[in-house]
Chains A and B, each alone.
Chain A
Amino acid sequence: MADFKDERAYESRTLTQWFLWSSLALLVCVGLMAYLDYHREWKYYQRRFMTLQRIQDRKQLSEINANADVAQYKELKSELREANQDLKAHEDEISKLQNQEASLDAQMYKVKNLHYQILKAQISADVYSYGEELKNGKNDAGLKKKIDGENNEADALNQQIFQIQQSHDEAATQVADITASRDQIKAKLTKLTADYTAVRTKIQSLSFNWLFYFRNAMLLDFMAPTLQIQQVVLKNLPEDLYFAKTMRVDRCMTCHQAIDKKGFEDAPEPFRTHPNLDLFVGANSSHPMDKVGCTICHGGMGPAVSFNGCAHVPNDEVEAKEWAHKYGWTNPELEGVQSVMAPLKYTQGSCLKCHGSQEYVNFAPQLDRGRQLMATRGCLGCHKVKGLEGLTKAGPALYRVKGKLTKDFVLKWVWSPKSYNTEARMPSFFQQSNNSDPDSLSKNKAELNSLVDYLYDKSEDYTPSEAAPPGSVSAGKKLVKEIGCLACHGIDDVTSHHADFAPDLSAVGSKLSANFVYTWIKNPQHFNPDTRMPSLRLSDKEAADITAYLMSKKNPDFDQAEVPNFDPAVRDQLIVEYLTPQLGVGGANAQLTQMDEHARQMYLGEKTLNKYGCFGCHMIKGFETAQGIGTDLTSPPWGSKQLGQLDFGFTDPEQIPHTHAGFLAAKLSNPRQFDKDKVVAFKDKLKMPNFYLSDDDREAIMTAVLGLTDTYVPDEMTAGIHGNGRLLEKGRRVIADFNCRGCHLIEDQGGEIREMYNKEGIDLSLAPPNLKHEGEKVQVPWFHDFLLGVHPIRPWLHIRMPSFPWTDEKIDAVITYFNLNDDQVYPFQKFVTRKLTGDDYRQAQQLFTQLQCQKCHVLGAQVPKDLNSAAPDLLKVHERLKPDWVVDWLTNPAAMSDQNTRMPGFWPADEPAPSKTFGGDGEKQREALRDYLFMLGNGQQ
C-alpha cells in the first residue's frame, strides 16, 4: 500500500488496533452467548439424578448378587467350559462349514443384490416405457420381447437365490447341530444373568465417562446429547391464549425426573416420586402423564425449565423464605405470570377444572369438604359458584318463624350467634372489627330490630300439633346417641363424633319449646313440608324422652343475656340515609314524617334484609328467588381474577401476603379486616359475616375457591357430563343433599358416624353399612320400596335408617345412581334362579346346615341366640338381593365389604371346599346355596 501518511486523516495502525480489540470483544461475546445458552439449571438436576439413579441401581445390583444362585452359575460355567473342550475335536469341521457359509453369503449378495434386484428395476422401467409407447399408439415389439427375456432371466435368478439360501441354511443347521449342547448352556447362562446384565448396562449408561462429556459438551450437544429437555405434548388439553388455542406442553419431568418412577419416594426434591402413582402420572393410572400432564392440575408454566420460570408457588411463608434462599425465588403471582402453580396444599382445587360438574370428586377429600362446607355454611347463599347452583339453602326456612322462636331469642341470636352456642353455624354479622364503634353498634341494633320485626310480620302462624308428655332425660340422651341423630347433628355430650351437617343441639333447650321439639322430631314435615330432616319413626315414648333430653340442654348465660334494644332516633336516621339518594335530605325527612312506627320498622327491615342478604340462606316469603348479594365466584372465576381486582385495603403485605391465597385466608378468618383504616360510609362497609372457621375448614374452602379458574378444558376431557355422567350426578346430588354419607360409606367416602363406633370400640358391622356394590347387590323393586317406606333389615340394631320425605324423582335418582355406579346397565330385570330338585336339593339343604348359617342369620321366626348382633333375615334374600351378587358375596365377603363384615368366608382361595357336597366343587356349592335361599324365600320345598 502506498503511504499517503501526510494527507490521510486516519492512521492504519490505529484502525487496526481498534479492529483487534473490537474483534476480541466480539469473540468474548460470542463465547459468552454460547455459554449462557449452554449453562442451564435443568442440566444440573439431570446430572444429579443420574448419580441418584446410579446409587439406586447399584443397590439393586447388589441385591441381585445377594439373591443370585451362585452354585448354578458356577455349575453352568464349568459345563460351558467342558462343552467348549468337547467342541475342540470338531474345530476343523466347524470352520469348514463356517467358511462355506461365508462364501454362500458372498454369492447371495452377488446374485440377489447385484443381479436380481437391478434386473427387476430394469424390468419395471422397460414396462413403463412400453406402456408410454402404447399410449402414443406405437407397439414396440422389440421392447416387448426384451421384457419377456428379462422376466425369464429373473425367474432363473430367483431359482438360483433359493438354492443358495438352501445350502446356506443346511450349513448353518449342521453347525448348530454340532454346537447344540453348548448353545443350550449358553442360553441358560444368559437367562440366569439377564437381570444382572440389564442393570449393569444401565449403570454404565449412567456413568460420567468421556462419551458423556463429549456428547454433552458445549457446541457439540446439538448432535445427540444425553441431557435433554423432556416433555409431554397434550393435544386434548389445549392452552387457551384468548385469541388462539395452543397445545399444552409440560416439561416438568425435565427436572422432576423420578416423578413416574417408583423407588424415589424419599428422595430429595425435585427427584421425588409422585405420591399417588396409582391415581396420577402412572401409565396405568386414570390420569396418565402422557394424557393429562402436570400443569393442568398443578398450574404453572409448563414449557419453562427454570425454577422461577415455572412459577413455583410455596405452601407458606416458611417455604417461601427457604426457596428464596435456595433458588432465588420471587413470587410469580406478583410479577403477573399468566399461570402460577397452586400451592401444593390447595392442589385439589384443580380437580374442578375437569370434575367441576361432579357433585364430589372422591379422590380429593379436601376439595369435597370445601364444596360441602360452601353449601352447608351458606357461602353459596351470597356467592354464585358454577356447578353448585340450586342447592338447598343452608339455613332453615323462616316462613313460620313466629311459631318456632321468640323475638327475644332471634334478636339475641342474630346479634351474637356464638354466645348461644359456640358451634352455631349462623355467621356473625355484628360486633365485628369494622362495626364495633359506638355509632355502628347503635345503627346495627336499629337494623337488627327492624329486621326481626319485618320477618315476624311476614311470618305465618304455627302451633305444634302435639303437647310433649314428660320423658326421661337419660333415656333420651341414650337414644340421641344411638339411633343416628348424630350423623347430622352435633351435641356436646358426645365427644367421639361431631357432625356439622345440621345444627348443633348443645343449647337447643334455650331455643325451642318442648311442644315444638316433640312435634318436630315425630314429624318434621308438620312444621316445614320442605325440610330435609327425616323421621326416625320414633314412638311417643321415645319422642318424649328425646324431647326431655333436648330441653335439658340449655345455655343459662344466653338466657340471661340482654336483648339488644335500639334507639328510634338512630333508626330514623338510617331511614333518611336510605331515602336521601332519591329524594334528597329534605325529601327524605318529609317522607319519614309520613311513616308511622310500623311503616318505619318495615321499611328499614326490608332494606336491612336486602343489605345483608338473609335470603341467601333462609327461605323468606317474597325473597325465594332473590339473587345473592356477594361476589360471583365463577364469572370471572375467582382463582383467575387479576390481583388488581382484589382490594387489600391498607393491610400490611408482610402480614397478609397480597396474593390470591393470602387474600382468601384473610377474608375467611376476618372478613372485615380490609376495611381497616378506610374512610367508608356506614352503608358501604364490608358486610360479609364472620364464620369463625377452623383452620382445616378454612383451607378446605380455600381449596374449593382457588380451584375456580378459567383454564380451558374441552368437553371431552370433562367428567360427569358424558353418557351416564349426568344421571350419576343427579343421584350424587341427592346423596349429598340428604347427607347419606353421614352414615354410609359411598364410593369409599363418608361414613363419618363410624368414627364414633371406632372410638368407642363398637363392632363396625353394627354400624350403617358400606354401600359399595349396592347396585350390584339389591333388586330395584325392593330398593324402591325400601326408600319409599323404610322397613329395617336388621330391626334389632340401635341405629336406624331414617325415613326420608322423598318423592319418586329422588328415589329414582338414587337407585339409578347406585346401579350405574356398579355398571348395572339394565337393572330392571326379573331374576330367575334354578329350582333345585331331588338330590341337588338334599345336598343344598345339607350344605345350609353344615355351614351353620342360622347361627347368625335370622330365618323368619327362627332367630339366633344373640339377637342384638344378628345378621339379616335369609327369608328376604329372594326379594332383596341379586342372584349374581349373592354368589360373589359368598365367595369373598371380606373383600366385598372392605373387611367390614362378620360374615366368614367359607371358600378361601387355595383351600378345599368346606363341604363334600356337590363333589366338593366350591362354585357349584355356592350357586346351590344361593338357589336354596331363593327357594326358601319363595316358600318352595
Chain B
Amino acid sequence: MHFLIHFINALFNPVTYFFTSVIGFGAMIRYREKWTEPPFALRILIGVLAVLGLSMFNDHFREISTKSDNVPIFLMVFSVGFFTWLSFRQAVVNDRRLSQGQPPVEKETSDKKVYVWPDLVYIEFISTIVAGVALMVWSLALHAPLEQAATPAWTPNPSKAPWYFLGLQEMLVYYDPWLAGVVFPSLIIVGLMAIPYIDKNPKGSGYYTFNERKLAIIPFLFGFLILWVTLIFLGTFLRGPGWNFFGPYEEWDPHKVVVLNNINLSEYFWVKLLGMGITNLNPVVRELPGFALLGFYFIGLPPLLTKKSKFLMGLLERLGVARYAVLIFLGLSMAALPIKMVLRWAFNLKYIVSIPEVFFNI
C-alpha cells in the first residue's frame, strides 16, 4: 500500500503527468470508436469514481480535494469529460453513417421546428430554474471559503490565481510574465478570433463529425484539454506551497525542498560546449545562440517542414500562403509551451534568451 501510494505520487510528477496526458489525448483520438461506446464509457466512469472513492481514504488527498475551492474543479472535470464524450459519441455515430452512405443523425429531425414561443422561451425559462436550483444547492452545501484577513506579513502559500487562470499561472513557471501573461493570452484570443477566417472547410455544419474536421478538432482539443483543462487540474490539485509539485497523496508541506538548478541556453552553448567564460560577454553576443534558435523556429522551420511534409504542402495549396502562414505561426506559438516544458524538465533549461539587464527573457 505504502509502495503504491509512493508510486502514484511519483507518477504525478510534471513530466509523466504531462506526457501521460498527451499520450492519453492521442489514444482518445485514435480509439474513439471504442471508448465512445456507452458500456465502455460507463466502465471508465465507474473506474474513475472508484479510484476517487478509494483515494478519499487518504488524509492528504481528502484534505485537498474536499476544500470548498476545489470541489467545483471536480465538477468541471466531470462535465468536460461528459461533454467531450457526448460530442465524440455523436461524431462517431455520424461518421459511421456517413461512411455507409447514410445522412447524419441530425438529418432525421431537421424538418421539425422549434418555435420561439412557446418552445424556446419555455426551455430557457426551465433552464434558468434548473440553474438556480443548482446554484442554491451548491451554496447551501458548500460554504464560501472565507480566509483570514490579508496581511502583508503573511501571504497565503500557495498563492493561486482564480481557477480559470491556473493554466496561465502554470505558464508563468516556464515563461516570464510579459510572455506568459501578455503575449500568449493575446495570441490565444487573436487565434480564436482568427479561426473562422482560416477554416475554409464547409463540412460538419449542423451535425457532429470528426473525420470531416480533423484539422479543426485536434488542435483545438489539444489546446483546450491539454494546455488548459489539465493545467487547471494540475494547478489546483498538484501545485502546493512554494508552487512545488505534490503527488495526490502527498502532504502539502510548506518546507518541502526540491532541487531546482536551471541553466540558460547561453551557458550551455558558451560554457559547456565551447568552454568559454561568459561573464564579460556583451549580452547581445552572449544571447546570439538563443536568438538564432528562435529565428530558426519561427522562420526557418516552417518552410523546411512544409517542404518535407506532403500533408502540409497540401494544406498550403488549399489555404493559400497568408492563411497558411498565420496557421503555422499560431501552431508554433502553441507548441512553444510544451516544448519549453520539455526543455526545462529534460535539460534544466531556464531561458533560451536571457537578458536580465533589460528584463528580457524568453
* A residues at B contact (CB < 8 Å): 1, 4, 7-10, 12, 15, 18-19, 22-23, 25-26, 29-30, 32-33, 36, 241-243, 336-338, 636, 642, 644
Contacts and interface: CB of A to CB of B under 8 A. Distances in A.
B118 A29 contact: no
26 contacts: A4-B115, A7-B111, A7-B112, A9-B109, A9-B113, A12-B122, A15-B119, A15-B126, A19-B129, A22-B126, A22-B133, A23-B129, A25-B129, A26-B136, A29-B132, A29-B137, A33-B136, A242-B149, A242-B150, A242-B151, A242-B152, A242-B153, A243-B150, A337-B148, A338-B148, A636-B153
B301 interface: no
Given A241-B149, A242-B150, A26 B129 contact: yes
Given A4-B113, A9-B119, A241-B150, 14 more contacts: A8-B119, A9-B112, A10-B114, A15-B119, A15-B123, A26-B132, A26-B136, A29-B132, A29-B133, A29-B140, A32-B136, A32-B140, A33-B136, A242-B152
A19 B122 contact: yes
A336 B130 CA distance: 36
Identify the interface centre among B111, B118, B129: most chain A CB within 10 Å of its CB.
B129
Contacts of B137: 29
Nearest to B139: A33
A11 to B, nearest CB: 9
Nearest to B253: A644
A898 to B, nearest CB: 47
Nearest to B132: A26
A715 to B, nearest CB: 22
B122 A15 contact: yes
Given A8-B114, A9-B109, A22-B130, A29 B136 contact: yes
A33 B112 contact: no
Contacts of B109: 9
A8 B117 CA distance: 11
A32 B138 CA distance: 12
A8 B149 contact: no
Interface string B100-121: 0000000001011111001100
Interface of B: 109, 111-115, 118-119, 122-123, 125-126, 129-130, 132-133, 136-137, 140, 147-154, 157, 254
B105 to A, nearest CB: 14
A674 to B, nearest CB: 13
Contacts of B148: 336-338
Contacts of A30: 136
A26 B133 contact: yes
B239 to A, nearest CB: 17
A18 B149 contact: no
Q: Which 8 A-B pairs have the closest CB atoms?
A: A9-B112, A338-B148, A241-B149, A29-B136, A22-B129, A242-B151, A10-B119, A25-B133
B290 to A, nearest CB: 36
B126 A1 contact: no
Contacts of A12: 118, 122
Contact of B149 (A1, A32, A338, A642): A338
A30 B147 CA distance: 27
Contacts of B118: 1, 12, 15
A429 B268 CA distance: 51
B122 A8 contact: no
A19 B122 CA distance: 8
Contacts of B150: 241-243
Contacts of A33: 136, 140
A642 B241 CA distance: 15
B69 to A, nearest CB: 14
Contacts of B140: 29, 32-33, 36
A711 to B, nearest CB: 13
Contacts of A337: 148
Contacts of B123: 10, 15
A26 B149 CA distance: 35
A10 to B, nearest CB: 5
A337 B147 CA distance: 8
A642 B154 CA distance: 8
A585 to B, nearest CB: 24
Given A10-B119, A29-B137, A242-B150, A19 B125 contact: yes
Contacts of B122: 10, 12, 15, 19
Nearest to A241: B149
With most chain B CB atoms within 10 A of its CB, the pick from A22, A30, A36 is A22
B143 to A, nearest CB: 11
A684 B136 CA distance: 56
Contacts of A36: 140
Contacts of A642: 154
A939 B133 CA distance: 100
B113 A7 contact: yes
Nearest to B115: A8
Given A9-B119, A15-B119, A15-B126, A336 B133 contact: no
Contacts of B111: 7
Contacts of B153: 242, 636
A80 to B, nearest CB: 62
Contacts of A241: 149-150
Nearest to A22: B129
A18 B126 contact: yes
Given A12-B118, A25-B133, A33-B136, A19 B152 contact: no
A822 B152 CA distance: 46
A284 B122 CA distance: 67
A336 B67 CA distance: 14
Nearest to B118: A12
A338 B149 CA distance: 7
A435 B5 CA distance: 36
Contacts of A636: 153
Contacts of B154: 642
Contacts of B129: 19, 22-23, 25-26
A447 to B, nearest CB: 30
Contacts of B152: 242
Contacts of B113: 4, 7-9
Nearest to A20: B126
A638 to B, nearest CB: 14
A686 to B, nearest CB: 17
A631 B133 CA distance: 54
A19 B150 CA distance: 45
A541 to B, nearest CB: 64
B251 to A, nearest CB: 12
Contacts of B132: 26, 29
A827 to B, nearest CB: 47
A7 B112 CA distance: 5
A644 B151 CA distance: 15
Contacts of B112: 7-9
B254 A644 contact: yes
Contacts of A243: 150
A102 B122 CA distance: 68
A12 B119 CA distance: 8
Nearest to B157: A644
A300 to B, nearest CB: 14
